[in-house]
Every structure is written in C-alpha cells, then in structure tokens.
Amino acid sequence: MTRPVDIPTLVEQARRGAPRAVARLISMVEDAHPALREVMAALAPYSGHAHIIGITGSPGVGKSTSTNALVTALRRRDLRVGVLAVDPSSPFSGGALLGDRIRMTDHVLDPRVYIRSMASRGHLGGLSWTTPQALRVLDAAGCDVVLVETVGVGQSEVEIVGLADTTVVLLAPGMGDGIQAAKAGILEIGDVFVVNKADRDGADNTVRDIRHMISLGDRTEPGLWRPPVVKTVASRDEGVDEVVEALDKHLTWMKDKGELRARRLRRAADEIEAIVIKSLRERMGDLRGEHGVDTLAAAVVDGEQDSYSAADQILADLT
Ligand code: GDP
C-alpha cells in the first residue's frame, strides 16, 4: 500500500522550491505512483519556463565534470539550476547515485541547485514518460535551466535527444574524432559541440574534424542553426562560460524560428504516446478468460487463430 499523499500541499511546497518536496515528487515519477496523474495536473500550468539542456557523450569524456562546471557557470549568472541524471540501464532507484558522485558535491549545499538521479528501467517506454515528468517537476519548481545527463552506458546517447530543448555533445581528443562522431550518429543530434580535455594533445584536430564534418552535413544553409564547437577544460573551469553563451544563443535562435515550440510539441506527443501504450498494456494484462492474452496465445500456437485476429480481438475489447 502506498500511503496517501497531500498532493496540493506537496505541489505548493515544490513550487516554492522546497528541496524535499521536489525530491518527493520526482520519486513519485520514478515509482509510477498512482497519484502521479494528480501531480501532473497540478503542475501543468507552471511548465515551460526552464531551458532543458541534454548532455551526452561517451563514458569518460567528462560529462559529470562538465555538468558540475556548467552548474557553477550558471550559478554565477544567479540562475536556478536543476540537474537530472538519467540512468536508463539501471533498475535501482535514484537519489544515492549522484549523491555519491564526488564531482557534483560542489553544489549539494546550494539551495538553488537541485540534483537528482533517476532510473527508468523497468518502465515501459521509461525514458519517454518518466524523464519529461521529472523535468516538469524541476521546471515548476522554478529552475531556469535543467541539465539532463545520461549516466551509464548504452544506446541512450541518441535517445536523450528527444528529451531536451538543446543537446550538447561532448567529445574529447582522441576519443571522438569527426569520423567516429559521424558513425555514432551524434553529428546530427548536437546543437552545441564541446571538445573537453582541451589540455590534451589533439584538441585542435578534434575541433577541426568536427567543424569539417558539420560543414559536410545539411546544416549549412542560411537560417539554419550552425552548431558551434567549443573547447573546454572542464576540470579547470575553462571555456565553460563560452558553452553557456552558445546555449543562450541556441535558445534565442530556437525562439526566433519557432523551433523551441516545435521540439516541445514533438516531446509532448512522444510522452502522450508512451502513456497511451503503457495504459493499453496494463489494461491488456487485466483481460481474463477467453479474452485474455494467454488464451489467445494458445489459440495462435495451436493454429486455431492467427496473431492479427488475436490482436484485433484484444483491441476491440479495450476500446
Ligand atoms: P563522464 O564519465 O563522461 O561523466 O566523465 P567524468 O566527468 O567522470 O570524467 C572522467 C575523467 O576525466 C575524470 O577523471 C575527470 O577528472 C577527467 N576530466 C574531466 N574533464 C577533464 C579535462 O578537461 N581535462 C582533463 N585532463 N581531464 C578531465
């Protein structure tokens, strides 16, 4: 049994920025709490303020160091910042993970910085509905910027793109030259490219490679966004203000071109679809007896029925 929650009070506290209330609401998202529907209804009028920035790149490239440095740079501008580390490969519930990550401890005592990690495995279409809902909590809590970082390895690099307004692709010399980047499909997804570890040999070559690959792409026409390539040494806080400037420029460009709304529309559509599919699957699991999927599966195996007609029968029962 989940204990009853006073949603209006919790939402009000979160809106005033109370860290515990924010954390509680994100846990409710992670747990697919039954009252989530009520939470989202209460938060709906307060969303759309935050600039959502996705940070992606191979493990070891400096994502968490860069996230930490970006938080510092954003705080210098007196912005309220949220950090959501999403681990699509981990079944473990969040909270502890990022707290353990030493490089983020610079900000744990800052009341205007919210740091949370969240696992989404185990939920059907997990990333596509849990992440936007957790982001909505941080947005409604008054964050000006929310950084979404994928942790863990996997196919999440490209998946994260649909979740952000602006996507930052992080590379490092020798790890992600242009060819590799092109192969990984990340050239298309980056709005801002950052070559981190610029204190190492080969950084300028990596920058040149990426610029070259971008120039070969289809983003060179006038009016289109030409992704900037910025060099950083995240561990020494170098170049990070330039990244923030590039992010600002991208936000302004998106607003001017209607792209911000277009991206948010796509995101909302994906979220709705994920919720529909989740709900259909739950209701399908509730069907019993001759209408149940087990009975129909047996009929298909025994050759009494084909799988399309079985699916039609379930769809008819659900609608
Ligand atoms: P992540 O796996 O992408 O999150 O990468 P981390 O942020 O954990 O960084 C991986 C390693 O690279 C750590 O040992 C960092 O201290 C180091 N690192 C991060 N940024 C830089 C940098 O700009 N220069 C150098 N030399 N090392 C860095």
Round to whole Å and give the CA distance between 50 and 79.
Answer: 10
Q: Residue 94's pLDDT is what?
A: 41
Topology of the domain comprising 47-257: Rossmann fold (3.40.50)
> Could you tell me what percent of the chain has a pLDDT over 70?
82
Output the CA 233–ligand 1 centroid distance in Å: 9
**Domains of the chain by residue range:** 1-46, 47-257, 269-318
Query: Which residues have C-beta atoms less than 6 Å from ligand 1?
Result: 57, 59-65, 103, 196-197, 199-200, 233-235
Nearest CA to ligand 1 atom 9: 62
Which ligand 1 atom is the nearest neighbour of the CA of 232?
A: 23
Nearest CA to ligand 1 atom 27: 197
Nearest CA to ligand 1 atom 15: 62
Mean pLDDT, residues 134-159 taken together: 79
Q: Average pLDDT over the chain, rounded to whole?
A: 84
Output the CA 61–ligand 1 centroid distance in Å: 6
Comparing 123-132, 230-239, 243-252, 279-288, the range with the smallest average pLDDT is 123-132
Answer yes or no: is pLDDT of 249 > 70: yes
Answer yes or no: is pLDDT of 179 > 80: no
Q: Which has the closest alpha carbon to 104: 112, 93, 116?
A: 116
Round to whole Å and give the CA distance between 137 and 44.
Answer: 10
Output the CA 144–ligand 1 centroid distance in Å: 26
Q: Please, which pLDDT band fits residue 100 given cuts at 50, 70 and 90? A: very low
Q: SS3 for 78?
A: coil
Mean pLDDT, residues 41-51 taken together: 94
Q: Residue 30's pLDDT is what?
A: 85
Please list the alpha-helical segments (H only) found in the chain: 7-15, 19-30, 36-43, 63-76, 96-99, 126-140, 156-159, 178-183, 203-216, 240-257, 259-286, 293-301, 307-318
Round to whole Å and give the CA distance between 317 and 319.
Answer: 6
Quote the distance between the C-alpha of residue 228 and its chain's center.
Answer: 21
Angle at 132 between CA 153 and CA 138, to 5 degrees: 100
Which ligand 1 atom is the nearest neighbour of the CA of 65?
A: 7
Measured CA distances, 213 to 154, 209, 218, 230 (Å): 24, 6, 10, 15
